Amino acid sequence: MSMDPSSLPASSESQDPADSARGGPSRNHTLGIRRQASAIIDTVLSDPTPEQGDVRDQLRKHVAAYPGHPETALTEHLISLRSLTRIPAGTSKVVPPAVGSAIEPEPGTPALAAAARVSRIEAVLKGRMLLTAFQPIYELSTGSAVGVEAFTRFVTDGSNTAGYWFAEAAEARLGSELEFAAVESALAAAQHLPTHLYVALKLSPATCLDPLLPGLLEESMLAPDRMVLELTEALTAEQAAALVAALAPLRQRGIRLAIDHAGSYFDSIRHIRQLQPDIIKLDRNLIAGIDTDTLRHAFGEVMVGFAEQLGAALIAAGIETNDELAAVAALGVTAVQGYFLGRPTTRPQDWARWNLPAPSKTGSDISPPIASIWY
């Protein structure tokens, strides 16, 4: 059936992990984090390796200091890993030394900061201290959810965003490792989604070119035609050419390709022509105010025609108002997502609702409380 924008669902009442910091009703999520933190603590404490004795002793102290709050104890433990890193003063190359070394670092040295960064990311990787939140993607022609985008949430005190952790990993040259961990988490969580939904997995071009990626995707229980690899960073000319060859076998298996941030950098349109993606995404920077900004509206018209020429679906992401939704629908955009339509959520009970038809809304019922939307 044809779908008026007003018939799409308003913002979900579900909470994502950041909601706990704002005092929202996220008890189930908090319990999930505590269970996962407890499992991580048990794993570390059961490690019999003598070299890890100092780490275990430090962790026990934090557990004792925060009884009943394993997530806080684990966070404090990760912060304290900085004090367990020992780098000789003046070292130019970062080489993580053995825990408990007697050599004291020079305070504030870049080498110490780099080693601490590596320790933090390795702790996250070893403990798999991350969760997956899914945000629904709605098809405008039917008003039904057709897919989800996977977002990574980290088991921390909430003071650092996912972007911070991925930037830290890139600085530590562990970017692909952390992206792989995020993909594994998303693919495992996807088993609890309605089976008609595809899953968009956010990846950098460098990770898409990693030879380990095909094996990771092949081991998943998710069908290839439900996987979408979503490129989230600007490409170089060399990467674009290499990606065509590297992704060809995956796309032959039915895995689709999406390009995010379309039009956000100079060569993006040329790279889209080279890659011939199945999905093109317009991000929040281009959608914000598209209902009143003539330049954004004109660019949207161009992108609709461009996507039609390529035979690609065009998704408008970051929809936050009903006026923005109506504007992109009038342009002929294929699908939409954003906080106006549903926040990312880690709760399977929320995911299950995406198997139901979208509720019809008319008149004054179409707008959710926009003041409650955070971005």
The answer to whether residue 21 scores a pLDDT higher than 70 is no
Which of 40-49, 143-152, 198-207, 320-329 bottoms out in mean pLDDT, i.e. has the lowest?
40-49
pTM comes to: 0.69
Quickly list DSSP for 177-239: HHHHHHHHHHHHHGGGS-TT-EEEEEE-HHHHT-TTHHHHHHHSSS-GGGEEEEE-SPPPHHH
Give residue 110's pLDDT. Answer: 66
How does strand 130-139 pair with strand 335-336? antiparallel
Give residue 95's pLDDT. Answer: 35
Give residue 345's pLDDT. Answer: 95
The answer to whether residue 296 scores a pLDDT higher than 70 is yes
Tell me what percent of the residues of the chain surpass a pLDDT of 70.
Answer: 73
Closest residue by Cα to residue 59 from 158, 35, 42: 42
Task: Output the CA torsion sign for 244, 245, 247, 248.
Answer: positive
The answer to whether residue 355 scores a pLDDT higher than 80 is yes
Give residue 8's pLDDT. Answer: 64
Q: What integer best gives the mean pLDDT of the chain?
A: 78
Give one word for 128, left, alpha or beta, with left for phi > 0 and alpha for psi -120 to 50.
Answer: left
Distance CA 270, CA 237 (A): 9
pLDDT band at 58 (very low <50, low <70, confident <90, very high): confident
Give residue 311's pLDDT. Answer: 96
The answer to whether residue 301 scores a pLDDT higher than 90 is yes
Task: Output the CA torsion sign for 235, 237, 239, 240.
Answer: positive
Distance CA 178, CA 124 (A): 8
CA distances from 15 to 31, 33, 181, 236, 250 (A): 14, 14, 23, 37, 34
pLDDT band at 363 (very low <50, low <70, confident <90, very high): very low
Query: How do residues 114-139 score in pLDDT, each as one tens digit?
Result: 777 787 788 778 877 889 999 999 99
Query: How do residues 302-349 score in pLDDT, each as one tens digit?
Result: 999 999 999 999 999 999 999 999 999 999 999 999 999 999 999 999
Q: What single letter denotes the amino acid at residue 109?
A: T
Of 5 and 250, the structure prediction assigns the larger pLDDT to 250
Query: How do residues 148-187 score in pLDDT, each as one tens digit?
Result: 999 999 876 566 788 888 888 888 888 889 999 999 999 9
Q: What single letter denotes the amino acid at residue 265?
A: Y
Q: Beta strands of 173-226 (E only): which ranges?
A: 198-203
The secondary structure of the chain in percent helix, strand, coil, rounded to multiples of 5, reads 50, 10, 35
Distance CA 136, CA 354 (A): 7
Considering only the top CATH level, what class is 5-24+130-372?
A: alpha beta
Give the mean pLDDT of 276-282: 96
Give residue 338's pLDDT. Answer: 96
The answer to whether residue 32 scores a pLDDT higher than 60 is no
The answer to whether residue 100 scores a pLDDT higher than 60 is no
Per-domain boundaries in the chain: 5-24+130-372, 27-127
Q: Beta strands of the chain (E only): which ranges?
A: 130-139, 145-154, 198-203, 227-231, 256-259, 279-282, 313-316, 335-336
How far from the centroid of its chain's Cα atoms is residue 100's Cα?
Answer: 35
Query: How do residues 214-239 score in pLDDT, each as one tens digit?
Result: 999 999 999 999 999 999 888 888 89
